Amino acid sequence: MAGVILDGRRISQEILSELKPRIETLRQKARPPALAVVLVGEDPASQIYVRNKIKTCRELGITSLDRTPPANTTTEELLEIIQSFNEDPEVDGILVQSPLPKHIDSHAVLLAVSPSKDADGFHPFNVGCLVANRPAPRACTPAGIMQMLKRYEVPIAGRHAVVVGRSDIVGKPMALMLLHENATVTICHSRTPDLAAECRRADILVAAIGKPALLTEAYIKPGAVVVDVGMNRLTDCAEVNRIFAHDPKRIAAFEKSGTALVGDVDPHAMQELSSAYTPVPGGVGPLTIAMLMANTVSLAEQHLRC
């Protein structure tokens, strides 16, 4: 029996709907929340992502301030842009879209964003607040996953959660958020011996390693809840036919478009073995932007004392 689909689009819409009255209150008492978005260069994937963020801001009534400096922008020039937003009392949240061009000092950029305007929740100060379980902006993707698990009433306390991936933006904050909800948490990565055995211990399995369909049926305990954070674009016909052998519709779509999206978990194994799972696309992805909006609104409420 196939697992229950955890519909990220539905949860995202719930979160956005709940933000609307808070945004209206801010608008009536002072001004709408404002998010500054900085996109350096013309990376196509980043452009799409930023467009979606801007579109969501407009739909909610959040002011979007957009800066798109060229790819040859220096670190110093980018830091000046960030500082101008830090000093602007009309700006509540700042987002610098990654990846940045290789010549830019990304660490300096991370530190430059004021913690009180850190809409992504990446600043070390806010990461420290997460470690201490104190209020602060949280990294959007893991925060969205926690919202989804709670709204689908997935039990977390006392469960064994395994997070595959140790990135600063997903893996590490995900593990901490699960720990704060009283899960027993294991973090795995590329050097974990017998990764499959560790994953099979999971009641909640979060895959965020960036390898297409790496986690097969050997990695999934029957009845586990599987959260697939991966978003891998495939262009190889043989690989698509292998991964989607049980899904003729996905193969037909690939033959039409020449690309297919797959997560870090084998989709057929995830559907068949899990009690609940996030599809790719339509699972975790929509939640990230919803939580970015939630962070921006919360920061505006703090700045405007509403």
Inform me whether the pLDDT recorded for 2 exceeds 90: no
In this predicted structure, the answer to whether residue 155 has a pLDDT above a threshold of 90 is yes
Identity of residue 193: P
Is 211 tagged catalytic? no
Concatenate the DSSP letters of all residues of 229-245 into one string: ---EEE--HHHHHHHTT
CA pair distance 190, 167, nearest whole angstrom: 12
Query: Which candidate in 53, 117, 228, 264 is catalytic?
Result: 53
The pTM of this model reads 0.95
Could you read off the pLDDT of 85-112 as tens digits, one per residue?
Answer: 999 999 999 999 999 999 999 999 999 9
Domain topology for 140-285: Rossmann fold (3.40.50)
8 A C-beta contact, residue 281 and residue 294: no
Same fold for the pair 30-116 and 140-285: yes
Catalytic residue among 92, 117, 118, 120: 120
pLDDT tops 90 at residue 306: no
Residue 236 bears catalytic tag: no
pLDDT exceeds cutoff 70 at 285:
yes
264-274 average pLDDT score: 97
Q: Average pLDDT, stretch 204-230?
A: 97
Give residue 284's pLDDT: 96
pLDDT tens sequence across 156-182 = 999 999 999 999 999 999 999 999 999
pLDDT given for residue 232 in this prediction: 94
Q: What is the pLDDT of residue 43?
A: 86
User: Does residue 226 have a pLDDT over 90?
Assistant: yes
pLDDT tens digits along 14-34: 999 999 999 999 999 999 999
Does residue 230 have a pLDDT over 80? yes
Distances (CA, A) of 199 to 52, 194, 210, 253, 267: 33, 9, 16, 31, 16
Measured between alpha carbons, how far is 106 from 123 in angstroms, rounded to an integer? Answer: 12
Into which CATH architecture does domain 30-116 fall?
3-Layer(aba) Sandwich (3.40)
Q: Can you spell out the DSSP letters for 45-65? A: HHHHHHHHHHHHHHHHT-EEE
What are the domain boundaries of the chain?
Answer: 30-116, 140-285
Q: How far is CA 190 from CA 96, 164, 208, 247, in A?
A: 28, 9, 11, 29
Task: Determine the average pLDDT of the residues in 65-81.
Answer: 96
Q: What is the pLDDT of residue 281?
A: 92
Strands 34-38 and 63-67 turn out to be: parallel
Residue 168 is among the residues annotated as catalytic for this protein: no
Query: pLDDT tier at 1 (50, 70, 90 boundaries)?
Result: low
Q: Above 90 in pLDDT, residue 46? A: no
- The torsion angles phi and psi of 118, rounded to 5 degrees, stand at -80, 85
Q: Share the mean pLDDT of the chain.
A: 96
pLDDT above 70 covers what percent of the chain? 100
Residue 302 pLDDT exceeds 80: yes
Tell me what pLDDT residue 49 has.
86
Nearest to 233 by CA among 204, 210, 215: 210
Q: Choose the catalytic residue: 97, 117, 118, 172.
A: 97
Burial class (CB in 10 A: 0-12, 13-18, 19+), 110: middle
